[in-house]
Amino acid sequence: MKRMLMLLSLLASILVAGLVATIGWAETDIMPRPPKPMPVESDLARLVRDTRVGDGYAYRQFIVYPLFTNGRGDHGVLTMDDAVTRELLRVTEKGEGNVPELLVENRADEPIFLLAGEIVKGGRQNRVIAQDVLLAPRSGPISLGVFCVEQGRWVNQTDHFAAESAMAHGYLRQKLNAPMTSQSEVWGEVSRKAAAVAPSAATGSRYLGKVFEDKSVRLDVDEYTRSITLPSDANGMAVVIGGQVAGVEIFGDRDTFAKLQAKLLRSYAVDALECKGTEKVATDRYLVEQFLRRAGSARSEQKETVGIGQFFKIDGAGLYGSLLRWHEQSGAHRVVHVSLFEQMAVMVPTPKPHPPIVLFDR
């Protein structure tokens, strides 16, 4: 009997031990695992996530949507027009002249922002700024990357360059923001644009500025932009032409955007002229919101800059562009400026629908 009780006690101990072990294993299995590390959100992803699209302003095929970013700053930096007017920016040829480079010097006590697509005229030929640059205060002479937009002249006109009132049109700025651009491609786009909207400007030295000086182009651009007055607290805009997003411009502050807004509007309006006479395409802000969501997943790669801050090329998700940030810039995640474009050379105008073909039975 005692042996039987001892055997039962031993068996019970074994069962209890097994049960405890089983419960322990079960607890181990259901214990929460440590979360996987999430990728760090990029400056661009954070910026577009915090950007709201306002109501659009439309004229024919040209629609402009104001953009508002949470945390946007109020005051910005000097623009090229500011600095040239106050004689704080000096632009000269490098040595005896070098097509892809100019010498620039910031003589101000604050940074100067040079926007890709802005044109300087003078020297041996007129040039367009190749990429966004933030010049350091009292920078001294430094080399600036440029492209020629005046094919056919190599004669010194002035010792110093002045700022052109117009800037490169949107299609050309797309090329400047593309991963790779050559001088021949820039000349090709200048010639194409002149032939498309101002054939008289395609002769002589073939200077891009002649397109904007053409009387009919000036009148049309005035008509397209006259009714577009964006809210004073906007810090960017999205432009839709012919039912497609032609470009997005976001600034870290509303002051810098306000200074450059008219130049940018007119540059995009010149592109809208190529859609004149086509059927109006209905669109809404969802198109822009969708574009911004795609931009948030695009790749960015840091590139060299001759100025201060960090410059990034954006590529992927069916678009490309650039981002310039500066750690001392306040607001909008310390971003100075972002340009975004669809990956296409030229926006294709929407064709008018053809009349239906009617077949008759004989």
Tell me the CB-side half-sphere exposure of residue 275, using CA atoms within 13 A: 26
- Average pLDDT, stretch 272-283? 78
Overall average pLDDT of the 134-151 stretch: 94
Contact between 318 and 294 (Cβ < 8 Å): yes
Cβ-Cβ contacts under 8 Å for 281 (sequence gap 6 or more)? 61, 242, 243, 350
Residue 341 to residue 215: CA distance in whole angstroms: 29
- Residue type at position 59: Y
pLDDT digits (tens, 9 = 90+) for 279-314: 677 778 999 999 999 999 999 899 999 999 999 999
- Whether the full predicted model's pTM is greater than 0.85, yes or no, is no
Ordered by start, the domain boundaries in the chain are 43-342
Comparing 34 with 277, which gets the higher pLDDT? 277
**pLDDT tens figures, 220-266:** 999 999 989 999 999 999 999 988 999 999 999 999 999 999 999 99
As a whole number of angstroms, the distance between CA 11 and CA 33 comes to 36
Residue 25 binned pLDDT confidence (cut-offs 50, 70, 90): very low
pLDDT at residue 343, rounded to an integer: 82
Distance, CA of 341 to CA of 181 (rounded, Å): 15
- pLDDT of residue 346 exceeding 90, the answer is no
| Residue 218: C-alpha distances to residues 267, 276, 280, 360 (Å) | 11, 15, 22, 49
What is the tens place of the pLDDT at every residue in 154-205?
777 788 899 999 999 999 999 998 888 899 999 999 999 999 998 877 666 6
